[in-house]
Amino acid sequence: MFFDDRLATVLRHRAAGENAARTQFRQLLDLLGNRKYGRDEALIAAAWLRLAALAEQIKPAERVRIISEPGWRFRSPELAAHLAEDEPEVAAAALARADLEENDWEDLIPRLPIRARGFLRLRKDLPERAEAILDALGVSDRGLPLPAEMADANSPEDEPDEAEPAETIDPVAEEHEEPSRVINLDDYLILREDQAITEDEGSGQLPTTEATEPVKELQPKQDKQPSEIAALVDRINRFQRERSGEFEDPDLSPRLPLDDLAEPDDALIAGFGFATDAVGRIEWAEAIAAPMVIGKRLIRQRQLGAPLATDPLSRAFSARQPIETVATSLEGAPAITGDWIVDAEPRFSRVGGRFEGYVGRFRRPADDSATNPAVREGERVRQLLHELRTPVNALQGFAEVIQQQLFGPAPHEYRALAANIAGDAARILSGFDELERLARLESGAQDILSGTCDLASLIARMTTQLQPVLAPRMAGIETAPDFPASLDVAVHKDEAEALVWRILATLSGIAGAGETLKLRLNYAAGQAVFTCDLPDRLKREEDLLASQINPGAKGPRAGLFGAGFSLRLASAEAVAARGELRREDAQLKLVLPLAAREGGGGDQPAAMRGTGSDESEESEPVREAANGR
């Protein structure tokens, strides 16, 4: 549509009764739940005000039922934030129904009320980054555990009359109780800067604390009923302390030499960040590769009297220049062994500008197959088809819902239109499948099934099926008198049936009135040769695979995209079957490999013996040998 005035149309009507209010509330949810609800800011603001006014008229239970109804899209983070401010049941239903993108969840979760964030813990389909935000906010778990001491704190008879001295936790012990974490690059660089400044200024070290007696401190007398905030803080602290000891690396625990030994992870590492010191030794790396690369040298150590290295990595390191896309190799653990590409930048201290090494990244070289133009083009086509399938599948699904009356009765006229839409969508999806199959076959990403089948009987059966379709326009398709009764080829039955049907349906669909196409089948040099006459319309085409001719509306069709595409797909299938499809003058020839014979016994395929067909020239040596015997 050129002008989307649906929102203005809905706001133009007044909701006089309860039914009208529910209907308008549902309509506003549908329009505001979609991202593309218009660009008129004043109209959108009026819609939000109307939605809030309708929420005051409709009971929360009714709003929950409306929000939970299927059939409308909820992809607007603004609507989710608006509904999260309503009653708890409404907010829970809205957050359970919302279908947002990963970036929308990241922006929405911090804006949600604390009460509403808890409803997201019931969802299992949130993106990983959204789960990480919830973990940071303390909402990832079902709830904070109730400490065992809470009951004692609430019982008045166990409360002492006067406060007793409380022991403070030793800071050294507390530091060792916290779980260790891997230092990231920013912390590493800051630590290096602090160490460099400390060395330059000559400042002394901080005094270390010795193990002393715990310091006793008098705490003020507490109320018998602790405040709600203090209790919540205490629960959070206890939860974090208990949680820190729950997650342990199973590989770090000792194991007995039994059958349940953990298998080492030999998966190749695709890349990792690193930092070196001034002599080129790696002293920091990302956690995934740190145990395997720390201590290795970025360049080989120069020997006394040895000539200067001329490789790009050594030259850049000696000149303190950036390292850009330099090939190198690493040895060691299987996960890091192999060829690498290095990109790094030199770093210097802020005080004095002293060279401190390099910071950069190792990455694996690109796969050679990715540089193949055919592979890139095939991948691009497959990605495009994946994006096109989504709206077509949606259209087909909604059409089937209307045609089958899944959500209620529908007029027969609508059901008929929906049936036509579902049929058109199915044909479009089948065309997408053909496009994807052609892209995969031509790029080598897909192979056809292996097996054997009787090509002669397959062609004869399809010829019989096409005759009644061609008879009304006085056209026909017939086999030659010497057409064999049986001939086995090394192609799977399903693949051969699709290939032969694609050829015969395309050629017979283009055949004009009164045309008869001759079919011939023989063998030569271990290959079956299937020949079919070209229709008059195709004889004038210079390139059959680029032909734009479409079969007639009432004739057989092999695909959605015309004769040229169907023959191109058939040619790709023939090549994948170790054969070919080629044009010779006014004929189209399909060449397929013969099936392997069992026990040998002559040049003629075993499947053709005793069929009553005329013998070819290649059977003459067999006949002469029999007469001489």
List the chain domain ranges. 6-137, 271-300+309-365, 370-443, 453-622
Distance CA 376, CA 30 (A): 40
Residue 214: pLDDT over 60 = no
The residue ranking higher by pLDDT, 447 or 232, is 447
453-622: CATH architecture: 2-Layer Sandwich (3.30)
**Which pLDDT tens digit goes with each residue over 437-470?**
888 888 877 788 888 999 999 999 988 888 888 8
Record the pTM: 0.42
Distance CA 339, CA 366 (A): 11
Q: Which CATH class for the 271-300+309-365 domain?
A: alpha beta
First to last CA, the chain: 85
Distance CA 21, CA 15 (A): 5
**Mean per-residue pLDDT for 338-365?**
91
Torsion of CA 374, 376, 382, 388, to 10 degrees: -120
Backbone angles phi, psi at 338, to 5 degrees: 130, -165
Residue 435: pLDDT over 70 = yes
Distance CA 172, CA 457 (A): 87
What is the overall mean pLDDT for the chain?
76
DSSP-based three-state secondary structure for 411: coil
The alpha carbon of residue 62 and the mean position of all alpha carbons in its chain are separated, in whole angstroms, by 38
**b/e 299-309 (16+ beta carbons within 10 angstroms → b):** beeeeeeeeee
**Which pLDDT tens digit goes with each residue over 244-289?**
554 444 444 445 444 444 444 457 888 999 999 988 999 999 989 9
453-622 has the same fold as 271-300+309-365: no
